[in-house]
Amino acid sequence: MIAGSCLALLVPPGVAHARGSTEYRSEQGLDQGLPNEARRLVAERTFAARPMALELRTGLATIVGLVGPTVSFDPWSRLSLGAGVGIDTSGLQFAGFARFRPLVFMAQRTARLHAVGVELGYSVGPFEDHQSPLSDSGPVSTYSYDRVQWLQPQVTYETRSFKGFNLLAGLGVAIPVKTRGYHCLDEPGCNVNHIGGTTTVTFAIGYALQL
């Protein structure tokens, strides 16, 4: 106790005050660094700040059919890689996709990200040509395939809130590139109906996670 008191007397008051001020400024700087870091992440305008996204897709001839979930990972802001599975009137559909975002911008007031991109999708699954029956006893399908592989490019628009809420819309085409297991279900219909490209419309809602 005596030694501590003697040491306190030997230290000039100005030095002690300076040391205390330095410690205070250091602690204050750490506190201020947290909002600065948040502002830095926003200023980067990056989808990769929340790289893992889970979405539910639906629409017309989407890569997952009528409806299905997808999961994606953004290695950097302008690229998203993902896969999904879904179902339509023909059966289960399996898919993979790569989405490129050449245009990324942010709303300054809300910190919401926006992007216009191009998505290249690939899907595979059974296919059945559904036709409206001419009568109650008429066929509902003219032909089917056990498996069709589709190439599905589309133009996309997506937006993501600072908290990770994600919306996506897309318009594109589905092009059959390979078929297997053809079955004719109605002979007259098989002669006039053939598999071909079709327009696709996609809507998705999801949430992006931080890792």
Q: For the segment 167-184, what is each residue's pLDDT rounded down to a tens digit?
A: 999 999 999 999 999 999
No. of H helices and E strands in the chain?
A: 3, 8
Q: For the segment 152-167, what is each residue's pLDDT rounded down to a tens digit?
A: 999 999 999 989 999 9
Bridging pattern class, strands 79-88 and 52-62? unpaired
| CATH level 2 (architecture), domain 47-209 | Beta Barrel (2.40)
First vs last Cα of the chain: how many Å apart? 51
* pLDDT tier, 208 (very low <50, low <70, confident <90, very high otherwise): very high
Q: For the segment 107-153, what is each residue's pLDDT rounded down to a tens digit?
A: 878 889 999 999 999 999 999 987 765 555 555 788 999 999 999 99
Query: Domain locations in the chain?
Result: 2-43, 47-209
